[in-house]
Structure 1
């Protein structure tokens, strides 16, 4: 009898369903970008961000393309708020999905060397199923309506998401070392951040030797915020466990605007999702974590919590 490897069997199980996709590539400092066409022109690197209400371009891209600045608007980022110029785009297209007549804000220059032209968020993904297959390094956007049955495996875990007070972001329950909190699902965040209330509840010794001075966060408003950084034994969400995840501890102003109050709160970034396949239905306020098409299920990356 011929034997079939676990990885080969995994590929066979998925072979009956095919979808177009675009590649995810590293931007240089932790973000992952995909090709987006702006105003029907050649593709440029954009972040596809579940943590963003709308779309943005960086000032350098706006200058390069000669975009005319409009009236400024108030933009709230992770570390604070600022007034930023607006630009009118004819269109943004990702994986064949197009939004037209888009008013975007202009983000200030990044503090690092990442190569990113802009960000598009829930405005583009509304009306579609977005599939982030992180191990495959691909993203697919399937226009709705679409049957979920051929997309998901039997082990997919669905989250009927919560919402935030100020924004279109979706939330899910998480635990850190067994302590419960609420997290915002954020594919536009390079890392995972928790507030000090979560750190205290999880008995993390933030000022001890297991934590160190972390990266300074700037957010869209470019307001600097210092962090403490260290790894935790276990972060669990949607039936998955991630061991040894690096997190940053900071009382980010955005937690207040989300309406989390003084409770344990988290921004669940892509460093927590890199072994997963995220199937995201923003309009229906639900998403699934599932097995990747490029990675056989393992106890470490896809264990179901009892």
Structure 2
């Protein structure tokens, strides 16, 4: 049976917490949730903890503020396409006591929205640890492996063996929209859920009808404007869960091609789909769990 799911200084002060237990996920002002991070031993600064990012990165404004020396530019693929971006070398990045050192990071163009965030911590930080995103409690916990999963997941948690994508370290899993099957990419760095045209068609969505309207313009690392259509889907099912009335954006994003999903029903499974869940993530083992939280889901 399916279970229903029913200014920088100020933010840093709000984010400050002791490491090693859990850290808060705090709204960044645009729907993203950020966690407190230490960069080169200093902090805290707000970072997005992102299962959809292969590696960590910093925004241009933060690189300039910290006077980071730019290295060789490399091609970086994002949601709307690829662009050449500067690289930087950081001594360390730490979140909840989890630290990686001598870190090669890429630059990101400053966001066009009102998000207050200094950078992104990706799968490079989470490898070797179990990351728990408790969305109802608005906390993140990072625990170094090995760890007993019985201590972290409830008996009713549903484990998912993540699939691979063509280009990237993201994990995929099966989803069903309005009875149509497709592939989802778990992405805690995406505040919304995006589906491609193939999935919209197979799910019987009339994206130019009365139930859909102009959605947010997406830019991504390529700073390439991509228009979307936004509306609600009747049902989405995954891993024994069922969500009704989920808002999705429809766009044939360039990243779907990079993942090998250009012509297949596919979606970016964003945090608006996880608001009622506790997600336990073991990227290194390519598995994750959807679990219940002790907290009430935010309205």
Provide the TM-score with structure 1 as the length reference.
0.90
CA distance in 2, matches of 1:261, 1:108: 25
Residue 20 of structure 1 and its aligned partner are, at CA, apart by 1.2
Residue 295 of structure 1 and its aligned partner are, at CA, apart by 3.2
Assess if the C-alpha contact under 8 Å between 1:133 and 1:293 holds in 2: no
Unaligned runs of 5+ in 1: 1-18, 297-306
* 1:15 corresponding residue in structure 2: none
CA distance in 1, matches of 2:237, 2:23: 29
Residue 89 of structure 1 and its aligned partner are, at CA, apart by 0.2
Q: Equivalent residues in 2 for 1:76-87 (5 A)?
A: 76-87=77-88
* 1:136 corresponding residue in structure 2: 137
* 2:171 corresponding residue in structure 1: 170
Residue 71 in structure 1 maps to residue 41 in structure 2: no
* 2:252 corresponding residue in structure 1: 251
- 1:41-68 deviation digits (Å, cap 9, x = unpaired): 0210000000000000000001111111
CA distance in 2, matches of 1:221, 1:118: 16
* 1:58 corresponding residue in structure 2: 59
* 1:277 corresponding residue in structure 2: 278
- 1:19-59 deviation digits (Å, cap 9, x = unpaired): 81000000000100000000000210000000000000000
Residue 293 of structure 1 and its aligned partner are, at CA, apart by 2.2
Q: Equivalent residues in 2 for 1:7-46 (5 A)?
A: 20-46=21-47
SS of 2:257's equivalent in the other structure is helix
CA distance in 2, matches of 1:199, 1:212: 14
CA distance in 2, matches of 1:33, 1:236: 27
Residue 192 in structure 1 maps to residue 193 in structure 2: yes
Q: Equivalent residues in 2 for 1:203-222 (5 A)?
A: 203-222=204-223
CA distance in 1, matches of 2:248, 2:187: 14
* 1:304 corresponding residue in structure 2: none
CA distance in 2, matches of 1:170, 1:242: 20
Residue 91 in structure 1 maps to residue 56 in structure 2: no
Deviating above 3 A after TM superposition, structure 1's stretches of 4 or more consecutive aligned residues are none
CA distance in 1, matches of 2:60, 2:261: 32
CA distance in 2, matches of 1:293, 1:94: 23
* 1:226 corresponding residue in structure 2: 227
CA distance in 2, matches of 1:261, 1:82: 19
* 2:10 corresponding residue in structure 1: none
- 1:119-158 deviation digits (Å, cap 9, x = unpaired): 0110000000000000000000010000001211111000
CA distance in 1, matches of 2:237, 2:27: 25
CA distance in 2, matches of 1:283, 1:42: 27
Provide the TM-score with structure 2 as the length reference.
0.92
CA distance in 2, matches of 1:168, 1:263: 19
Number of aligned pairs?
278
Residue 287 of structure 1 and its aligned partner are, at CA, apart by 0.2
19-28 or 264-273, larger mean C-alpha shift? 19-28
SS of 1:123's equivalent in the other structure is helix
256-265 or 112-121, larger mean C-alpha shift? 256-265
RMSD value over aligned CA atoms? 1.0
* 1:113 corresponding residue in structure 2: 114
SS of 2:106's equivalent in the other structure is strand
Residue 167 of structure 1 and its aligned partner are, at CA, apart by 0.4
